[in-house]
Structure 1
């Protein structure tokens, strides 16, 4: 028995935005490593265009994805892909604050700043409306027990104005998801998850039950590929790479799982996108979950 994960496998975000479950994350377009040198802009533009050619119709970005001395992800997305092809879904996230010289976000925007951040994304991307906007209420170390209703209500208001089509949440708890859903529908959740760190299984189960997309950040483990003997063994059996098994394993885990691996490397892009066609067996999946 095999579990195919093909690039023709789709999910309907919010019930009406059909996307391939293998997408593309823009975080690594400005720089391949955290705090590292900026990537070559022309190479990053080629990566974006090639990602779309290979079937990535769901691009995840943010206005705070930029290099202090180099290009910003949103600017590159617009330069490479506008006028945007029909069916291309661009998701962004708001909440974290990052000053121009900061290597990464260092705080939270006040609630009153969320509208301006949405408008910044619209301006940088050259869009009249945004397909999907995630509220990210905290950083990696921020506790997940804070109420988010006031901030989510602001985004819900922008949705009513037509500036946003669908709303999502990033780095949140089940309680925060429940709170947000009393205000407006939630189309997707973006929490940390990879097959070697499946700690967010409760949230994934909620999303699967209720038809909410689950687009994990750090699908390849974060700032380094996990050194996991289980993944290496499965990769060796299939003549695949460890990143390919990590991505195929995610897609095989749930029909609501949306992979958004990011890279500034053309070679890594080809490798990642090929993972959508890797068929894992039931034995493979059992070994990965052991």
Structure 2
């Protein structure tokens, strides 16, 4: 399983038309991701599951995945560029692919990391995205991220390389909650009040321990992030935009927002409004 991670620059780069050149930077966006509060364990726990399914099955999402898959996985040093080919049909020449059902992607909650909430599961994690794995006939994998629209809907937020988010999200069950600490790319599972790492980054985040209590985990993340919250000196002096997910945020512009990362990473974040405008342009 391979997942190339990405980060966004503080201000999203905007491009007027295709072909689009993807400039791959190395900066990290740390900003609070908006999303409904509370933990979710699987598809049935997603608010308005049908809306998420409808978004995944839409022409706009299908075309966005095609555009993403039109570009090869980038390689080379940070700053390398990849050009999305300009095509009337975005799916022309793209291998057939399947978008799986959405899963709840929980993330570390900012108040918990700041140490201002209780060390309970409800306070420790928040539902941040609905994620759906993508598999192609050529063996490439990707992930579609849906962000919440209000409290009842979902919209396309990004398409990114690899299926790590969806794979780990799928490990949740009735007794286990899975969540990520995206700032270090760590994935954890919580059983009752015990936090256990699911990958190497999470093990490092627990200082090599095989498990810790939620209270002890809160002490660890408070030490990492309490001074990096929005409004902190770390934020106001421009070292970052504060604590957060490091994930691509959706855009309301009429053009794709290309989110940069390492030389081996690629993500395409697209605004729902922009997708609708492009669809109307094709039809009219």
In the superposition, the TM-score normalised over structure 1's length comes to 0.29
Structure with the bigger RCO (C-alpha within 8 Å, sep 6+) is: 2
In the superposition, the TM-score normalised over structure 2's length comes to 0.29
Greater fraction strand: 2
